[in-house]
A = this chain, B = another copy of it.
Amino acid sequence: MLEQIDLTKKLSKKEYKEKMEYLQPQLAQLQRTCKAMGIPVMIVFEGFGASGKGVQISKLIQSLDPRGFSVYATGSESEEEKMRPFLWRFWVKTPPKGRIAIFDRSWYRIVQLDRFDKVTPEDKLHYAYGEINSFEEQLTADGTVIIKLFLCIDQKEQRKRFQKLMDDKSSAWRVSKGDLKRNDRYEEYKQINDEMLEKTDTECAPWTVIESTDREFATVKIYMAVIKAMTERIKAEQMKQEIRESKTSEEVSAEEPAMPLQMDVLDEKVMRTSSLDSVDLSKSYTKEEYKKKLKELQEKLTHLHGELYRQRIPVILGFEGWDAGGKGGAIKRLTEPLDPRGYQVNPTASPNDLERSHHYLWRFWNNVPKAGHIAIFDRTWYGRVMVERIEGFCTEQEWKRAYKEMNDMEASWTNAGIIVRKFWLQIDKDEQERRFRERMDNPQKQWKITDEDWRNREKWDLYEKAVDEMLIHTSTTYAPWIIVEGNDKYYARVKVLQTVVDALEERLGQR
């Protein structure tokens, strides 16, 4: 999840003030509603050192009635706590109905900070994730809202903040040796956190990554995340109570909500986390650069493909992207140097009758490559959370649980030794239009463009939001998404080939 975060996001003072003027009374109101409805709320702050957890908690509680919440700082286990199961100290702090419990660090310490410091033994790590997921599942099933925030800054920003603290005698004590060690070994610590996020990003208690370089941006996003989660929970509770009173569905939808909920405000770009918005589409190569790089990479690929076959390593490459994003061209350059007996390109169209009579992942399982072979998918299983979601071909419940299903499928593949990479070919809306028109004007390319392409284009914003969520929930350490800057086809093709070459060389131990 952390690979593709855009940490340059910020808000002007004016934007900040405007948004907070709206958000603060909203949160205060939601606290009252949760109290009245008996909904317990848990808010978890995790993240890098000096990312501002303390400051942000202060800002959050400014809007809350102090009689209704508790803040818990989670340090190392006390002697008393060490004598009990590690979840004990959190179970006893779970809030009663209607109260809010805020955790400055939490039960994640064991798989993160304590893991990095080698306080957590390896065997404990094995079951800790299972226990954590079960803990959150049990509480949310019982009605608790669990809001998990991960505050993210980069290595440089963290170093700067530590330096500033250390320069001032009155705050120097706040920077520990451990902090500096984690800054030095930032990448390693980030990997540990990334694994934590992907293993515990569940439907019942998802993570929200908070880009925290700009404090104002972070505050607004935290408010929005908290408000969104509480609002959704209240709505669900209202629905449940209304069903209990056995009203018909018509009456339910006609009824006034207990408070005016303006969800659209929460749907804006602040809530997006992937770096799709900030992709630098100006990246390009000259024709000469392209030709040279292509030749080099294709020669490498020919050799690597042979090695793959010899060592019996299977590979799965998935291609997604905007219509006319350049998938076909990239796949062509990728397969040119490959032995045709050792790879297969699987185009993914709408499911046929046989496919429709099976689970939606069945047809992809059918095309899992043999050891030593490469399977390339032109469009993939991710259709479930893009076109099927947007066109209503599946229910909300279905596409929401698909994130886990697809992560699990790719984990199965990775466990079996398969190399998995997924490419998102990104172009901007203008470039797409240019390409559409070119296709229409060129008799040899006209078959590539249909009315449906133009219709999809009208839903650009909906797709953008769906793609953002997809990238965040399904980019894993074992099967990452690679965002390919696609306005320049040369650049895109080279990046795809380079990524594949890197992945193969890494596995084959040639780097």
Contacts and interface: CB of A to CB of B under 8 A. Distances in A.
Contact of A94 (B88, B248, B249, B359): B359
A401 interface: yes
A498 to B, nearest CB: 27
Interface string A385-420: 000000000000000010011001001110110100
A371 B83 contact: yes
Contact of A412 (B85, B246, B401): B85
Contact of A401 (B141, B365, B371): B141
A85 B138 contact: no
Contacts of A360: 142
Contact of A88 (B88, B134, B365): B365
Given A91-B362, A138-B359, A368 B131 contact: no
A197 B26 CA distance: 49
Contacts of A248: 248
Nearest to A357: B96
Contacts of A92: 362, 365-366
A354 interface: yes
A356 to B, nearest CB: 8
Interface string A54-92: 000000000000000000000000001011111110011
Contacts of A357: 38, 96-98
Interface string A112-141: 000000000000101100110010001101
Contact of A370 (B84, B246, B249): B84
B358 A96 contact: yes
A413 B88 CA distance: 9
A85 B126 CA distance: 22
Interface string A448-481: 0000000000000000000000000000000000
A371 B141 contact: no
A92 B368 CA distance: 10
Most buried by B among A91, A98, A126, A127: A91
Contact of A416 (B84, B98, B142, B354): B84
A289 B63 CA distance: 70
A312 interface: yes
Interface string A231-262: 00000000000000010110000000000000
A130 B357 CA distance: 26
A166 interface: no
Nearest to A134: B408
Contact of A368 (B84, B372, B412): B84
Contacts of A38: 357
B139 A418 contact: no
A453 to B, nearest CB: 30
10 contacts: A85-B418, A88-B365, A88-B368, A91-B362, A94-B358, A97-B357, A97-B358, A130-B411, A131-B412, A246-B249
Interface of A: 38, 80, 82-88, 91-92, 94, 96-98, 124, 126-127, 130-131, 134, 138-139, 141-142, 144, 246, 248-249, 312, 314, 354, 357-362, 365-366, 368-372, 401, 404-405, 408, 411-413, 415-416, 418
- Counting from the closest, the 3 A-B pairs by CB-CB distance are A85-B416, A96-B357, A91-B365
Given A85-B368, A88-B368, A248-B248, 10 more contacts: A80-B370, A84-B371, A85-B412, A96-B358, A97-B357, A127-B411, A131-B411, A131-B415, A134-B408, A246-B249
